[in-house]
Amino acid sequence: MTPYEHKVQYYETDGMGIVHHSNYIRWFEEARVDLLEQLGYGYDRIEAEGFGSPVLEVCCKYKTMAHFGDMVSISAHIIEYNGVRMALRYEVRDAQTGELRCEGESRHCFMGREGRPVSLKRSWPALDRVFAAQL
Average pLDDT estimate for 51-72: 97
pLDDT value, residue 119 = 98
Burial class of residue 124, CB neighbours in 10 A (0-12, 13-18, 19+):
buried
φ and ψ at 69, to 5 degrees? 90, -15
Non-local (6+) Cβ contacts of 50 within 8 A are 112, 113
DSSP of 3-17? PEEEEPPGGGB-TTS
Q: Does domain 4-133 have CATH number 3.30.830.10?
A: no
pTM, full prediction: 0.95
Average pLDDT estimate for 55-80: 98
**pLDDT (tens digit, 9 = 90+) per residue, 78-132?**
999 999 999 999 999 999 999 999 999 999 999 999 999 999 999 999 999 999 9
